[in-house]
């Protein structure tokens, strides 16, 4: 076989391989990257805070850089803490995108949202980049592992956190705690209802 024929065959084989590979990439639905752990024990910790308590302060690194603390909002904003169990898992991967389009409801009630997970910053960076541009800080409670989650009593026995929401008023007082069934999405209207109860 002469060299021209050999080049032609090589070229055609390359085209076939490339188009097959590109098609695979194109057709891969984005959410197949989500790891499904199956049905989990709904709650696997004992919450340590209740309505009326001063919410434990913390300072955690964020995906955007810098740190976020509860104390920085004292006297200025109501705060919602959204603990999610783990990056790249079902429910979690949709909960924050949902809050991302509900910014108006937080602003209307003078509230900020802080997302917290025990994943490290690189993992959180990769994961949250699939959610579009988030308007709220995403904080990593990775090290010391789950220390903030432990203060609130939402660290599960496997090192993940509960799916939990805490609403804290401008004075730093906990007004509402929802340690939710980890397998289910907390309803947005329930959170909005609690935000609307906060003193203006």
Partner 1 sequence: MSKFYTLIVMIALLHSSTSGVALSAPPVDVDVQVLAELQFPVPSGAAESKYLGLSGTGSFKLGQIAAETVIVEVFSMYCPICQAAAPAVNEFYDFIEKNPALKGKIKLVGIGIGNTPFEVDVYRKKYNVRFPLVPDDDFRVEKGFAEQVRTPTFVVLKKGKDGKLEAVYTQKGEFKSRDDLLKKLPGQPAAK
| Chain contacts with partner 1 (rule: CB under 8 A) | 1, 5, 8-9, 12-13, 15-16, 19-20, 22-24, 26-27, 29-31, 94-95, 97-98, 100-102, 105, 130-132, 185, 187-189, 192
Element (H, E) at 117: strand 111-117
Q: How far is the CB of 186 from partner 1 (least distance, A)?
A: 11
Beta bridge partners of 111: 78
DSSP string, 145-190: TTHHHHHHT-B-TTS-B-EEEEEE-TTSBEEEEEEE-TTSPPPHHH
CB of 49 to partner 1, least distance (A): 26
Active site residue 92: yes
DSSP tag of 195: H
Residue among 47 and 188 whose Cβ is closer to partner 1: 188
Residue 149 beta carbon to partner 1: minimum distance, rounded to whole angstroms: 22
Q: Which of 70, 81, 92, 138 is catalytic?
A: 92
| Backbone φ, ψ for residue 48 (5° rounding) | -105, -5
**Segment holding 69, helix H or strand E:** strand 67-69
Task: Give catalytic residue positions.
Answer: 92
């Amino acid at each position: 076989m002469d060299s021209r024929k050999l080049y032609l065959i090589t070229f055609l084989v390359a085209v076939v391989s490339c188009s097959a590979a590109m098609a695979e990439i194109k057709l891969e639905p984005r959410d197949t990257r989500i790891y499904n752990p199956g049905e989990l024990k709904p709650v696997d910790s004992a919450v340590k805070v209740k309505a009326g308590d001063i919410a434990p302060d913390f300072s955690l690194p964020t995906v955007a850089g810098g740190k976020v603390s509860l104390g920085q909002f004292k006297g200025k904003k109501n705060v919602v803490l959204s603990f999610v169990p783990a990056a790249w898992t079902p429910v979690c991967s949709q909960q924050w995108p949902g809050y991302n389009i509900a910014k108006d409801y937080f602003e209307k009630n003078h509230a900020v949202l802080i997302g917290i997970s025990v994943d490290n910053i690189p993992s959180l960076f990769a994961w949250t980049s699939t959610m579009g541009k988030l308007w709220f800080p995403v904080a990593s409670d990775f090290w010391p592992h789950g220390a903030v989650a432990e203060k609130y009593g939402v660290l599960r026995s496997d090192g993940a956190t509960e799916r939990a929401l805490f609403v804290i008023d401008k004075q730093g007082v906990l007004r509402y705690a929802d340690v939710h069934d980890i397998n289910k999405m907390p309803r947005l209207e329930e959170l909005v209802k609690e935000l609307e109860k906060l003193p203006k």
